[in-house]
Amino acid sequence: MNDMDTDTDAGSDTCLALARPGDTLPEIHFGRISRATLTLYAGASGDHNLVHIDTDFAREAGLNDVFAQGMLSLGVLARVASSWGGADRIRRLSGRFMAITPVNADLTCSGEVAERLEIDGQPHVRVNLVAEIIAPDASRTRTIAGEAIIRTN
């Protein structure tokens, strides 16, 4: 092909080094969070809080139904940062939970480079991360406002 192709072997590293504010990270559309998803995540994570897995318990607690573990969405949101920058380059990851994610919600996670910065003499980027649930009418509700600091070299 052309000369550029040999350079793209470096792949994401090259993209990372050149990342600029406003660049978007590939979105991860997780899809519908079913009751099965909540149950499996409860087992895998060790979060056995019944409000996520037992509808009877949730109703007795005055809720309409079970709702998703916040950490399930933050785990998917972290994938946006790790699949783009590499998990071992993430220096810091944070999330503020803004709204409950009801069972059967359609989850999607995205990110955008906010700034380049230097930490301990090493180049990094700060990435804004957003988890959203998509309603049947396509309107979106933000459930997590997150951030990752990722080393770029």
Partner 1 sequence: MSDTIFPPRGLFNRATTGLKTDPIFFDVEAGRISFFAETLGEDDPVYHDRDDARAAGHPDVPAPPTFPCVVDLETSRIAKRMGRTPIYDLIGCDYTRLLHGEETYEYFGPIYAGDRVSFTTEVVGFEDKKGGALETARLRAEIRHARRGLLVAIERVLVHRLN
Contacts with partner 1 by CB under 8 A lie at: 28, 30, 37, 40-41, 43-51, 60-62, 69-72, 74-76, 78-79, 81-83, 87-88, 90-97, 100
3-class SS at 5? helix
Comparison of 44 and 135: residue with beta carbon closer to partner 1: 44
Comparison of 99 and 137: residue with beta carbon closer to partner 1: 99
90-115 in b/e burial notation, b at 16+ Cβ within 10 A? Answer: beebebeeeeebbbebbbbbbbebbe
* Nearest distance from C-beta of residue 135 to partner 1, angstroms: 21
Dihedral angle, C-alpha 71, 75, 80, 84, nearest 10 °: 140
Write down the residue that tokens 């009801």 correspond to: 102
* Nearest distance from C-beta of residue 103 to partner 1, angstroms: 15
3-class SS at 113? strand
* Nearest distance from C-beta of residue 41 to partner 1, angstroms: 4
Comparison of 15 and 71: residue with beta carbon closer to partner 1: 71
